[in-house]
Structure 1
Amino acid sequence: MSDVVLHHQAGVAISTTDAGAATATGADAATAAATAPAEDATLDLRVVRRRLGPGRRIRFALWIGPTLLLAVWVTGSLAGFIAPQVLTAPWDVVKEFGEQWNHHDLLSNITASLGRAGYGLALGTATGFVLALVSGLSRLGEAVIDGPIQVKRSIPTLALIPLFVAWFGIGEEMKIITIALISMIPIYINTHNGLRGIDGRYAELAETLDIKRGTFLRHVVLPGALPGFLLGLRFAVTGAMLGLVVVEQYNSLSGIGHMMTLAQEYGQTSVIVVGLVLYGIYGFLADSAVRLVERRALSWRQTLEG
């Protein structure tokens, strides 16, 4: 639409110039005719830049940063700038990964960590979304729910782990609940903001057209809250990984954290780095998946991201 408006304005400017040129001398008319194409070309270039934003999206751009980080790691290890005692070289990490996979049941630890993160993230996402709907669509719900959620925001969830241990013990229940609570907050906050950001004129139009509440929720409210929900999901994925790293240090009998705890006791730096790399890969792939879903689900929305 902005392209049409700009070209329309360009047409008005050119026609005005031509009208003025009709009453001017022949030299003035020639000057106006010469400058009009230049002005039109400048305007077209401005339209293209505005439509493209800061630049065309590079394919596979998400992998550029991790690739550069890996290149710095390899280069620093080869040049001797990064000592093996500080950070294990990448090739030694790959070797240790094979050792853990073949002789120490690394696959079982990966599965256990993914299960904890997945269950906690699913529980937190569902809870946060439902609470956001109740709070965002009802004044009574907002009065009851929003206040406690804001209080919880000021209390770090990781600081509640000792209390959760006293309530739920040190088993899987405590770990999943901690991850769920960390994931719930960003889902609630961003979904609630998305609901509150929906233009009130849509509700007035629905009342005027006598649209049923269920239809209004499905076709207006939920699509309007979707951008906020997906943004919250990206934060929730990161929070789930943070919670997983911490809770797996508490009496875990399996998982990446359990593997790293044992490696710390025996001074096996390479095993610790393997665990850190796995955590990083988890988080990166999960965030990339959410961004892909966001790009597909919000394809109707044109932003500077493209």
Structure 2
Amino acid sequence: MPEIELSAGTIEYQDTGGPGPVLVFLHGVLMTGSAWRHVVAEFGSEFRCVTPTLPLGGHRRPMDPEADLSLAGLALLVEEFLERLDLHEVTLVQNDWGGAQVLVALGRDERVSRLVLIACEAFDNYPPGLPGRVLALAARVPGGLAATMGLLRWRPLRRAPGSWGWMSKRPVPAEVMDEWFTPATTQPAIRADLAKYAVSVPPREVLLEWAGRNRRFDRPVLVVWAGEDRIMPAEHGAELAATYPHGRLVTIDDSYTLVAEDQPAKLVAAMRDFLAETAKQVIPHRH
């Protein structure tokens, strides 16, 4: 797997290559770029698909001890990743995590021409829902993350209510979840990276201020919400789409948060329509 050295440490990523329009996919906590495997398989021949594995607990290489792995710090790391790979006119796609909105709020979206926000953190829903709150609490208790990850070794517990059973309606294959969870289960340094992020969420008033700043993003935005989401509030989909001057909302039924897992074909169809309709609206890179 290709690697790139950034200010925080070494980031692994996959890149389908080619000259086509660039899609950069951002995953959520305790996942890797493989969360997008179904979508990339469909788009790989039409677009250049880039899937970094961010230091959100599924990464295999610990970050530098002094790295800023806060919510804002990781959003800026995404900007650095785009810059180091010299990616322009990027369509930034995210699910579960809300880093793309933070990137916009911080005014660091020069390389981004479109957003696709799929069932993700928004407004004051950071960390999201009961699973997010449990993880944040575990990160504040000595040994809490080690105990939590120890429980996730047991495959039946992964589908428990309030745990990963609320992330996807259909079970994620065991070998994929093993890949996601093994680093934080086996490496204390990875858990330390995850803890930095988990305790970094700013106060509610800051989150809402950041959300308000997203109104300045004047490029095309597709918001995709899951019809049966148990973690991201149903009303946030419409509110998020209304935040952007050129936002639109698509709801995909029979899915929980991980739409790319539960309904990849429907997600690909919605994205393909959006990408085709907005192709002429892409704003060239500002030199």
Q: Fold match, TM over 0.5? A: no
Q: Hey, which of these two has a bigger chunk of helix by percent?
A: 1
TM-score, normalization: structure 2?
0.25
Structure 1 length as normaliser, TM-score?
0.24
Choose 1 or 2 for highest CA Rg: 1
